[in-house]
Amino acid sequence: MIKCLRVDHRLLHGQVAFSWTTSLGADCILIANDDVVQNEIRKTTIKLAKPSGVKLVIKTVEDSIKAINSGVTDKYKLFIVVESIEDAYQLVKNCPQIKAVNLGGTKAREGTRNISKAVNVTKKEEERIREMLDSGIDVEIRMIPLDTSIDARHALNKEG
């Protein structure tokens, strides 16, 4: 069962690893990222952040989609973490069992606008979020579980 799909440019770190995993009751974390699979330094860093007693799986986005759709992840209380809105969009588009996306943090980059404390989006990312919302996916902005959830549509519509 998929507990949460989270977008966080830092992927797995203390705040995510402990507060989210505990709050969700997750027993498996899936990092869906094309770079981490082949980047030993990033992989090691992520493994160090993993809470004890929680399984960690690192796969490409495509392999993550295949695993989710095959049913092999069904036995887990799965917490999926991706680095970008585009990766989340690909998962949502290809895995009908994903019904919600949590935007936790995206870096300020050239061409982005800030829509909340830690979320910065490009025009294309705004379009992707709107597409997900329009297709019935719940997209929220929330850094940690105790924060108040902000509806992404509301955040996108604010002046910026």
DSSP 131-145: HHHHTT-EEEE-SST
Please provide the distance, in angstroms rounded to a whole number, between the alpha carbons at the two ends of the chain: 37
Question: In which element (H, E) is residue 116 found?
Answer: strand 113-116
154 is known as an active-site residue: no
Residue 68, classed as helix, strand or coil, is: helix
CB 85 within 8 A of CB 125: yes
Among 10, 13, 43, 93, the one annotated catalytic: 13
Residue 55, classed as helix, strand or coil, is: strand
How many CA atoms lie within 13 Å of 150's alpha carbon, on the beta-carbon side?
18
Active site residues per annotation = 13
